């Protein structure tokens, strides 16, 4: 028999986890927007709208210390950050477009050199994903190969049912452990009648075909046409669940301070600027081209994954109305 959890018990589960000193993060109303935030109680959880920013900052914070340094008695000392204190975290209520992204990012952060800041957080996290019931004009997850009920990336997957409860499926050992540890909250369902999904009506994209076109069209008038209006604000990268570029900088004096790793964006004009003044991506449309190429070609070449989950955030946020889904469907429709 499939397992279910009632709405009330889902909120009770959050209360319990908080009591166990776990950090529970989920969509929460904060000011006028819904964001992924630490939940203090089950009643905080809001499942009716996609958080404005993605959940990647749980694993890859906007800004974090990677070491501290201090001069003592004339001698410099460098101290590592204690990662053993990263908290056990449960991410609850991530739709497939957000639950999928850490699994995609694992590749770059564990490639050859392990970024333990990211990986340790990943080890200590459990992702409770939830099937989506509502797309909007900007969503296109189904076009990039996900579906409203894609379990990939989730440890435990919830499906909203018609009666208001949730069907549960433990996808990984971590998910199973979460259910086993709180078995009393989960019940068995006689039937699981999933709630209806409001389809966005986006066409399916042929990602292999798009990649193929990108391969042969590094120089194409398209880039100037679509991307000359990009103002390089970086919004699209900062709210994207898959963008992972970062910078490293020191904060403090020469005597004492910290070295910090923080988000960066290939849309910024100085991102690739050489000290000599030479800049390989000297104009904005080249930077935007890199954004598309990285997501739909380079990342796939290197790691066999597409660096976009179709969450549509960049479409909603772009101040000049650049629509990545539209660009992809334009490319998808090309014959050569």
Ligand X SMILES: Cc1cc2nc3c(=O)[nH]c(=O)nc-3n(C[C@H](O)[C@H](O)[C@H](O)COP(=O)(O)OP(=O)(O)OC[C@H]3O[C@@H](n4cnc5c(N)ncnc54)[C@H](O)[C@@H]3O)c2cc1C
Q: Which residues bind other proteins (CB under 8 A)?
A: 66-67, 69, 75-76, 78, 80-84, 108-109, 111-117, 119-120, 218, 244-250, 252-255, 257, 259, 261, 264, 266, 271-276, 278, 280-281, 286, 293-294, 297-298, 301-302
The least CB distance from residue 70 to other proteins, in Å, is 9
Among the listed residues 310, 323, 327, 331, the single contact to ligand SF4 using CB under 6 A? 310
Axis crossing angle, helix 96-109 with helix 116-123, rounded to the nearest 10: 140
Contacting ligand X within 257-296 (CB under 6 A): 275, 277
Instruction: Report which DSSP code applies to 172.
Output: S
Among the listed residues 232, 247, 262, 298, the single contact to ligand SF4 using CB under 6 A? 232
How far apart CA 97 and CA 142 sit, in angstroms, is 9
Q: Are 50 and 95 in contact (CB under 8 A)?
A: yes
Contact status: 241 vs ligand SF4 (CB under 6 A): yes
CB nearer ligand SF4, residue 9 or residue 54? 54
The least CB distance from residue 66 to other proteins, in Å, is 5
Please list the residues that pair with 121 across neighbouring strands: none
How far apart CA 127 and CA 36 sit, in angstroms, is 13
Please list the residues that pair with 172 across neighbouring strands: none
Identify the sign of the CA torsion 34, 38, 40, 42. positive
Q: Rounded to 5 degrees, what are φ and ψ at 329?
A: -75, -30
Contacting ligand SF4 within 53-82 (CB under 6 A): none
The listed partner (ligand X, ligand SF4, other proteins, none) that binds 72, CB under 5 to 8 Å by sort, is: none
How far apart CA 309 and CA 313 sit, in angstroms, is 10
Contacting ligand SF4 within 277-306 (CB under 6 A): 288, 295
Q: Are 290 and 218 in contact (CB under 8 A)?
A: no
Give Dmax (Cα) for the chain: 72
Instruction: Report which DSSP code applies to 295.
Output: I
How far apart CA 240 and CA 267 sit, in angstroms, is 13
CB nearer ligand SF4, residue 194 or residue 229? 229
Q: Which two tokens stand for residue 270?
A: 């100085």
Place of tokens 């190969």: 145
Stretch that binds ligand SF4, among 39-47, 73-81, 125-133, 239-247 (CB under 6 A): 239-247
CB nearer ligand X, residue 119 or residue 245? 245
User: What x-and-dash track marks residues 190-219 binding ligand SF4 by CB under 6 A?
Assistant: ------------------------------
CB nearer other proteins, residue 105 or residue 331? 105
The listed partner (other proteins, ligand SF4, ligand X, none) that binds 244, CB under 5 to 8 Å by sort, is: other proteins
Percent helix / strand / coil, the chain, rounded to 5: 35, 25, 45
Contact status: 254 vs ligand X (CB under 6 A): no
Decide the pairing of beta strands 166-170 and 3-5: antiparallel
The listed partner (ligand SF4, ligand X, other proteins, none) that binds 234, CB under 5 to 8 Å by sort, is: ligand SF4
For residue 303, which of 153, 120, 129, 112 has the smallest C-alpha distance? 112
The least CB distance from residue 252 to ligand X, in Å, is 16
The listed partner (ligand SF4, ligand X, other proteins, none) that binds 48, CB under 5 to 8 Å by sort, is: none
The least CB distance from residue 265 to other proteins, in Å, is 9
User: What x-and-dash track marks residues 312-331 binding ligand SF4 by CB under 6 A?
Assistant: xxx--xxxx-x-x-------
């Amino acid at each position: 028999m499939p397992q279910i959890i009632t709405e009330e018990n889902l909120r009770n589960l959050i209360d319990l986890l908080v009591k166990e000193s776990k950090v529970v993060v989920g969509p929460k109303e904060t000011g006028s927007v819904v964001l992924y935030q630490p939940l203090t109680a089950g009643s905080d959880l809001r499942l009716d709208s996609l958080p404005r920013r993605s959940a990647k900052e749980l694993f890859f914070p906007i800004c974090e210390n990677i070491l501290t340094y201090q001069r003592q008695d004339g001698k410099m000392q460098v101290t590592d950050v204690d990662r053993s204190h990263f908290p056990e975290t449960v991410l609850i209520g991530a739709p497939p477009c957000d639950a999928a992204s850490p699994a995609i990012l694992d590749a770059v952060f564990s490639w050859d050199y392990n970024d333990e800041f990211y990986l340790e957080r990943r080890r200590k996290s459990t992702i409770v994903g939830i099937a989506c019931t509502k797309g909007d004009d900007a969503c296109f997850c189904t076009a990039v190969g996900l579906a409203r009920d894609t379990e990939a990336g989730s440890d435990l997957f919830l499906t909203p049912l018609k009666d208001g409860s949730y069907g549960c499926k433990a996808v990984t050992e971590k998910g199973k452990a979460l259910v086993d540890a709180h078995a009393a909250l989960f019940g068995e369902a006689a039937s699981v009648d999933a709630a209806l999904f409001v389809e966005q009506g986006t066409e399916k994209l042929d990602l292999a075909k798009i990649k193929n076109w990108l391969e042969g069209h590094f120089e194409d008038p398209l880039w100037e046409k679509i991307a000359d209006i990009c103002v390089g604000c970086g919004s699209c990268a900062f709210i994207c669940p898959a963008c992972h570029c970062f910078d490293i900088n020191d904060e403090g004096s020469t005597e004492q301070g910290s070295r910090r790793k923080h988000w960066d964006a290939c849309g910024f004009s100085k991102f690739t600027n050489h000290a000599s003044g030479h800049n390989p991506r000297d104009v904005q449309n080249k930077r935007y081209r890199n954004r598309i190429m990285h997501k739909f070609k380079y990342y796939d070449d290197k790691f066999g994954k597409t660096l976009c989950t179709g969450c549509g955030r960049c479409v909603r946020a772009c101040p000049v109305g650049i629509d990545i889904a539209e660009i992809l469907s334009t490319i998808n429709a090309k014959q050569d």
